[in-house]
């Protein structure tokens, strides 16, 4: 039976946070969280880390990943994740003589996902017969879109404002945590997504990523609450401006994420 493999690209040249993929956060090097999630997922047969960095390779191997040495040109700022995925899959095919059955692409910058998220995402793709899948969280908000000088309400009619819970349009925020796809999608489309695409829903807090230095403090704060949650409820936590102190509610975390979504829409990303 063909294998389901997890690929975690982790290059060494991060500019925003030097050494980001091996920086200590929530009790472990950042990349080790994703390795642990993949190894604990029952749907994953083998876990690979693709890297151009010797220290990332050493730490990843120590946490149980198989290492794929990535050429330096595929570790530059200009190199795409797809280029790293092509190289990793090619390495697998050269060694095994056959393509994997499914590829699960995990970004090392998502330390709050759960192993169960991976299993449920793989299960959803198999159950629905989809060709590819992305993880995202649902937006329950009033989204506006700006193109040039024109501003328009996107998810509702501002002339007939409705309650937030009554919004008819379903909006998803791609969180970059989990992608699952059949090998032909990458091979033929040079993309992690294609064919029939499914969305796997995650909650807001497990969707947070490490992109900026301040995100490390956020992850440290959220990790214990996420660990205590049952995967269905949202942890009871808020971030305040004064020292990012936990209190009741989740409004600040949600506001930050929705603001980021609006920024993406306005930039055309």
Query: Is 254 labeled as catalytic in the residue annotation?
Result: no
Among residues 58, 127, 147, 161, which one is catalytic?
161
Tell me the C-alpha distance between 257 and 32, whole Å. Answer: 25
Sheet containing strand 46-51, strands side by side:
66-69, 46-51, 4-9, 102-106, 171-181, 132-139, 197-201
CA 232 to each of CA 31, 114, 116, 182: distance values in angstroms, whole numbers, following the listed order: 25, 12, 11, 28
Short-list 47, 45, 41, CA closest to 63: 47
Tell me the C-alpha distance between 198 and 127, whole Å. Answer: 11
Short-list 20, 200, 195, CA closest to 114: 200
Please give the positions annotated as active site.
Answer: 161
């Amino acid at each position: 039976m063909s294998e389901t493999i997890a690929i975690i690209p982790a290059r060494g040249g991060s500019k925003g946070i030097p050494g980001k993929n091996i920086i200590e956060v929530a009790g472990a090097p950042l990349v080790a969280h994703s390795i642990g999630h993949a190894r604990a997922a029952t749907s994953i047969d083998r876990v690979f880390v693709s890297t151009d960095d010797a220290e990332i390779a050493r730490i990843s191997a120590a946490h149980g990943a198989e290492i794929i040495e990535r050429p330096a040109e595929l570790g530059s700022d200009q190199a795409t994740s797809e280029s790293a995925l092509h190289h990793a899959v090619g390495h697998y095919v050269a060694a095994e003589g056959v393509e994997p059955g499914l590829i699960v692409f995990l970004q090392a910058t998502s330390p709050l996902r759960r192993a169960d998220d991976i299993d449920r995402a793989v299960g959803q793709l198999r159950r629905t017969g989809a060709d590819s899948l992305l993880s995202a969280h649902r937006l329950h908000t009033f989204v506006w879109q700006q193109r040039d000088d024109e501003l328009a309400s996107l998810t509702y009619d501002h002339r007939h404002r409705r309650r937030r819970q009554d919004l008819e349009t379903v909006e998803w925020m791609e969180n970059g945590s989990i992608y699952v796809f059949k090998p032909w999608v990458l091979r033929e489309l040079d993309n992690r997504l294609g064919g029939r695409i499914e969305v796997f829903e995650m909650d807001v807090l497990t969707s947070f990523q490490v992109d900026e230095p301040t995100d490390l403090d956020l992850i440290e704060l959220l990790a214990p609450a996420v660990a205590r949650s049952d995967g269905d409820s949202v942890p009871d936590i808020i971030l305040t401006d004064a020292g990012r102190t936990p209190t009741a509610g989740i409004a600040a975390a949600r506001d930050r994420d929705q603001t980021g979504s609006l920024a993406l829409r306005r930039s055309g990303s």
